[in-house]
Each structure stands twice: as structure tokens, then as C-alpha cells.
Amino acid sequence: MADKVAEAARRERETQQQMDAPAEGGPFATDPEYLAKLWAAKHAEWRRIAALLETSAKQVYDPEQDPQGVAWAQERETRRQDTLDRHTAWAKERQDAQDELRAQVWLPADTSRRLRAIAARAGLQPEQVLAQLADHVRMNDDGAMMVAPFTPHRVEGA
């Protein structure tokens, strides 16, 4: 345990010195501040574990017997699961967005007037009527499309 504490202290000093030195290439060139914080945290954790072993008079560290370590592990697992859940939700939203179709349709004036009149009677926007129309389209075996009679209606929550 003393070796781990000493190694962490040494690395913490080295990374801090590297941060204070003029910028140059080498192993610390990517982000010396992050590396310094990482070793400072590791040093503090190894000191905490050494103190825990000293107060418990145990020779071997058992993570299951470390209440602070168990609590931190549970917090990490909760954060990990939350991150996975958010990523899954984001991926689903992204897939749903890819499955959507947005189209701009240019209609002749007489067709456009009829569509606007139908939409107005139904209390809808013309785009909503077209979306409902598309929902009702069926294709025969020979490729012909047909739409059974339907009444455009408001969709709750839309």
C-alpha cells in the first residue's frame, strides 16, 4: 500500500512540475492539467485506502468492506446507467427523425383550393390532411394506389 501511495505522490509531483514547465512535446503534451488532476485524485484515494487499512487493522483491502468505496461505485453505476439511458433515448429520437419525411408539394391552383377547403372544414392545416391521406393509401398487387373514403380528423396531442 505504501508503494502505491508513494507512486501516486511521485506522479502527482511530476505532472505538476510538467504543468509549471514551458510547453513542449512529450508524454504530457496532450493535456497536462488533466493528467495532474488525475494523479492528484489517485494520490488522495490511495492515502484514503491506506488510512482505512490502518484504522481497521487489516492487511488486505477488500472493496466490499469499504463503505465509501461501495457508495462511490454505486454512484458511478447510476451515472453510467443514466448515460446509457440518455444515449438510447437520443439514438431512438435520431432514428425517428431519420424515418420522418418532409416534403414540399406544389399543387395546381384548383387542387390547392380543394385541399384548403377540406382542411378548413376539418379544422386542420392542409399538411395535416395530406399526412392523413398518406396514412390511408394502400397499394394493390399490380402497384396501383388507392385510398378508401375517410374523413380527416384532428389528432389529439398533435
Predicted TM-score (pTM) of the model is: 0.44
Separation between Cα atoms, residue 152 and residue 150, nearest integer Å: 6
| H-assigned helices in the chain | 2-20, 32-56, 67-99, 109-122, 126-136
> Does the pLDDT value for residue 58 go beyond 80?
yes
pLDDT tens digit sequence for 4-43: 888 888 888 888 777 766 555 555 556 778 888 888 999 9
pLDDT tens digit sequence for 125-138: 999 999 999 999 99
Q: What 8-state DSSP symbol labels residue 145?
A: E
Cell 406544389 belongs to which residue? 106
Q: Which one is predicted more confidently, 19 or 151?
A: 151
SS3 of residue 137 by DSSP:
strand
Mean pLDDT score, 130-150: 94
pLDDT given for residue 82 in this prediction: 96
